[in-house]
């Protein structure tokens, strides 16, 4: 009901100033995934596409569809993605407590 009604000129200008930062962060994330994907492909002897898809963030369902359509090693990709997801689930609360200063 309120979608779009709470935007004013100041909030749009602030969002506009953040666009270059978001673009730079996106490019850095893509480059990081490319480098780690290359390292994974060299370590496992798989294709670069497999390494990139295994390290790229995003939904596992989307990545699985791309992997199946491209002929990449879906087993390695989904295993790596699942390990990433589990590590986030396990480490997320620990890191949140640490950042908030609640070490107990």
pLDDT in tens, 2-59: 677 778 888 888 889 999 999 999 999 999 999 999 999 999 999 999 999 999 988 8
The CA distance from 59 to 41, in Å, is: 21
80 has pLDDT over 90: yes
The CA distance from 104 to 98, in Å, is: 9
pLDDT of residue 43: 95
Domain locations in the chain as residue ranges: 9-100
The CA distance from 58 to 24, in Å, is: 18
pLDDT of residue 12: 85
**DSSP codes of every residue in 10-62:** HHHHHHHHHHHHHHHHHHHHHHHHHHHHHHHHHHHT--HHHHHHHH--S-HHH
| In contact, 33 and 63? CB cutoff 8 Å | no
């Amino acid at each position: 009901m309120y979608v779009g009604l709470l935007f004013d000129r100041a909030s749009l200008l602030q969002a506009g100033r953040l666009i270059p930062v978001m673009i730079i962060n996106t490019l850095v994330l893509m480059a990081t995934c490319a480098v780690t994907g290359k390292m994974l492909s060299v370590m496992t002897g798989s294709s670069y596409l497999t390494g990139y898809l295994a390290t790229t963030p995003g939904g596992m369902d989307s990545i699985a569809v791309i992997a199946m359509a491209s002929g990449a090693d879906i087993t390695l990709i989904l295993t790596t993605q699942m390990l990433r997801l589990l590590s986030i689930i396990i480490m997320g609360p620990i890191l949140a407590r640490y950042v908030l200063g609640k070490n107990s």
